[in-house]
Amino acid sequence: MRFLEDCIKRDKMLTFFILEDHALRQRPNQLALIFENRTWTYNELYRSILRVGNWLLKDLGIKRGEIVALDGGNSPEYMMLWYALEGIGAIPSFVNNNLTGSSLVHCIKVCYPVCDNVQVRY
């Protein structure tokens, strides 16, 4: 209960901040992710997420509070995008990657995705 109270008090209730705590304090060198013969420790995963977050901020211009559609399959990169969006204060909107046609268009319209130099046509 104290852990949750502390997270609420510090405004750090997202999964990103739990990963950050593991990477910087609790278990930086412990294995965090295994995917198709690739591995990341908590620290390596956290550093990768920070790089993605910088890319989102600097190259794509994503801002705190913006909703960003995520449509992708099961991969470390998808997870890194998710946590990076949380880390910069943006809001990931998860879109089912099996959707096509009008269902996909509807989901994209609802979440108002942020795109940089990409023409989105409905």
d(CA 67, CA 110): 10
pLDDT of residue 109 exceeding 80: no
Domain ranges of the chain: 2-111
Is 2-111 a CATH 1.10.10.10 domain?
no
Question: What's the angle, vertex CA 76, arms to CA 62 and CA 99, rounded to 5?
Answer: 70
Q: What is the mean pLDDT of the chain?
A: 83
Amino acid at position 102, single letter: S
pLDDT digits (tens, 9 = 90+) for 50-103: 999 999 999 999 999 888 888 778 899 999 999 999 999 998 888 777 777 888
| pTM of structure | 0.75
d(CA 112, CA 122): 11
pLDDT of residue 8: 66
